[in-house]
Amino acid sequence: MRIPLKHGAHRVGKRTDADMQRWREYGLGQFIHWGVYAIPGGQWNGKTTHYAAEWFRTSGLITKEEYDNLYKQFNPAKFDAKKWAKQAKQMGAKYMIFTTKHHDGFCMWPSKYTDYTIANTPYKSDIVKELVDAYTAEGIDVYLYFSIIDWSHPGYQAGTAITNDDRLNWAGYTAISNEKDKAGYETFKEFTRNQLIELLTNYPTVKGLWFDGSWDGAWMKEAAWVDALGTELRDMHPGLIIGSRFRADENGKRHEDTNGDLIDDYDQRFERNLPNSLAETKGFDWDCVMTIPENQWGYHRDWSLTYVKTPYDLIEMTVKANSLDGNFVINFGPDGDGNIRQEETDIAKSIGNWMSVNGDAVYGVQHSVLEKQDWGHSTAKGDITYLTVFNKPMNNLLRIKVPRSKDKDMIYVIENAMFKPTKKAAVIRDGGRDKSGSVYYDIVLPADIQKLSEPFVIEIKLKQVNKGEKGSYQQALT
Ligand code: FHN
């Protein structure tokens, strides 16, 4: 039985408009975490934090006063928005999410509602504007990350007291501390609203807002107010895309409301974690945001602390996400001078080189009818199915299991197959059938494909034809 809700989801099922369709087709995105935390880069006075570098204010290695004065040194002389945008374009990113304000409250745009902004650094210029302009010029859509948590605002009381221990009980802690000064919290709410309106006014070309920190206990208690704010933002910016991290319903339920419907436009629960089946996604639109090291979003000088993903790890995750109808977003953490570190540059280049050959398997695709198979992942667009092969079989025969059609008079056939890297047609052999009626095909991997050291894509034409249709199955075999 459905429970009547005033502040639950405003729609059952997916958005069907053109803006959301565009979002769905991105396939690959870039996240950028950049702020004053890039100056210490996880280290201070010879000590290194193992916590995420963008949380450095709470690391215990720096005093609050020291941290809150870092902005006076923020002067990224090497920052070149156009260079970053070109690199993202080469990588194949179709959208970019930028941290306008992380939990520390430092604003990368000259907000008129606080002095804690880029305008009061030696750098002075509006970094958000530089990035929005540069990425938009490259045809990359921009989304603004905005942290609800703001340690710099006096009405957000957790800001002064927060320690690593507090953050383990974040929601409870803020709910209690903000209870103590309701008037203060009202000023914080108004400040947050003003800043969001300011962002959408200053940067009208952005496509959406990417919220974070909304697990904050005080925020979760403001369902009616936050819901009204969401409506106000959507009214002022038609087509605006907002994920499920913005608000809770009146029962404190986040992402899915009390009835299990998705709150707002897409599911933001998959952080550093991919679903393993379509069932796990519940049929919602979703994205997965991923760090390159284990859990570092902002710049950390020392990348020897955890496993650092390879370009192929990230390509595999990108294809997997798209095979399950999600977008994949790779995070970059530039340093305090405005450089994207060499490792990230190299990774972006490798991914871009791969995407330039095989990107059809990622952009504008959806889940294919093929079940997950050991060699990799499959995606589909119309009657084309893309097989992205990560594990080449030792016998160089790639076995494809084609499911039984739901219609008993029809069967699936592979009409032709082509290797993306060589653009050559593949030889397909009959691989037999099993008791369930599934049909197997073996694609012969020729010598030039066998030699490849990287994943590759085979484009196949998978069609449903009438079982009795003359020649349909035989023609598939060469
Ligand atoms: O606490 C943040 C973290 O620093 C980072 O910004 C990520 C990005 O999704 N979000 C939060 C953790 O969920």
% of the chain with per-residue pLDDT over 70 = 93
Quote the pLDDT of residue 473.
44
CA distance from start to end of the chain: 56
Q: Is the pLDDT of residue 372 over 90?
A: yes
> How many helices (H) does the chain have, and how many strands (E)?
15, 19
Pocket lining: 148 vs ligand 1, CB cutoff 6 Å:
no
Pocket lining: 52 vs ligand 1, CB cutoff 6 Å:
yes
Q: Is the pLDDT of residue 116 over 50?
A: yes
Torsion of CA 228, 22, 277, 89, to 10 degrees: -110
d(CA 249, CA 258): 7
**CA-angle at 418, arms to 414 and 420, nearest 5°:** 135
Quote the pLDDT of residue 404.
86
pLDDT grade, residue 477 (50/70/90)? very low
Q: Is the pLDDT of residue 173 over 80?
A: no
**CA-angle at 271, arms to 365 and 134, nearest 5°:** 65
Pocket lining: 271 vs ligand 1, CB cutoff 6 Å:
yes
Quote the pLDDT of residue 439.
87
Please write the tens of the pLDDT for every residue from 266-286: 999 999 999 999 999 999 999
* Phi/psi of residue 199, nearest 5 degrees: -65, -45
Quote the pLDDT of residue 352.
98
Among the atoms of ligand 1, which is closest to the Cα of residue 298?
Answer: 4
Q: Which residues contact 5 (CB under 8 A, 6 or more apart)?
A: 249, 250, 251, 257, 258, 259
**Three-state SS at 22:** helix
pLDDT grade, residue 176 (50/70/90)? low
Pocket lining: 215 vs ligand 1, CB cutoff 6 Å:
no
Helix H or strand E segment including 465: strand 456-466
Give me the helices (H) in 324-399, please. Answer: 342-358
State pTM to two decimals.
Answer: 0.95
Centroid of ligand 1 to alpha carbon of 255 (angstroms): 16
Q: Is the pLDDT of residue 130 over 60?
A: yes
Pocket lining: 297 vs ligand 1, CB cutoff 6 Å:
yes
Average pLDDT score, the chain: 93
Q: Is the pLDDT of residue 168 over 50?
A: no
Q: Which domains does the chain have, with CATH numbers?
A: 18-361 (3.20.20.80), 368-466 (2.60.40.1180)
Q: Is the pLDDT of residue 177 over 70?
A: no
- CB 223, CB 249: distance < 8 Å: yes
Q: Is the pLDDT of residue 114 over 70?
A: yes
